Amino acid sequence: AQKVTQAQTEISVVEKEDVTLDCVYETRDTTYYLFWYKQPPSGELVFLIRRNSFDEQNEISGRYSWNFQKSTSSFNFTITASQVVDSAVYFCALKRGANSKLTFGKGITLSVRP
């Protein structure tokens, strides 16, 4: 079975603060894929990142960075210098491998106050 746990349900920060969204996953597979999606108030799901299990390099994209650690089965997402436009629900997701479904965590609601 595969499972994604996003223990934080709601986070509220003031603009320009850094914030980390946690994601812990469970799978018995050696090949798997991890994703983060953003769902702003408009409702449309926006792809942020995809990482395969063989690539543990951390990634930075502008103010966004991701820390993938297989030893702790975690794939955390950090927003540096948060902005009001970052307010959204963020979902972490796991795909076991080819020809399998994508399992989402329950999501974290991030509110960034001016």
Interface positions with other proteins (CB under 8 A): 33, 35, 43-45, 47, 50, 52, 91, 95, 97-107
- The identity of residue 5, as a single letter, is T
Report the nearest approach of other proteins to the CB of residue 9 (Å).
10
Report the nearest approach of other proteins to the CB of residue 55 (Å).
13
Report the nearest approach of other proteins to the CB of residue 51 (Å).
11
For other proteins, the closer of residues 37 and 82 by Cβ is 37
Q: Are 35 and 96 in contact (CB under 8 A)?
A: no
For other proteins, the closer of residues 50 and 113 by Cβ is 50
For other proteins, the closer of residues 63 and 106 by Cβ is 106
Report the nearest approach of other proteins to the CB of residue 46 (Å).
8
For other proteins, the closer of residues 43 and 62 by Cβ is 43
Instruction: Return the closest-CA partner of residue 103 out of 49, 41, 32, 54.
Output: 32
Cα→Cα distances 55→5, 32, 65, 113, Å: 21, 11, 15, 35
Q: How far apart are CA 11 and CA 30, in angstroms?
A: 32
Cα→Cα distances 6→10, 15, 26, 91, Å: 10, 22, 12, 8
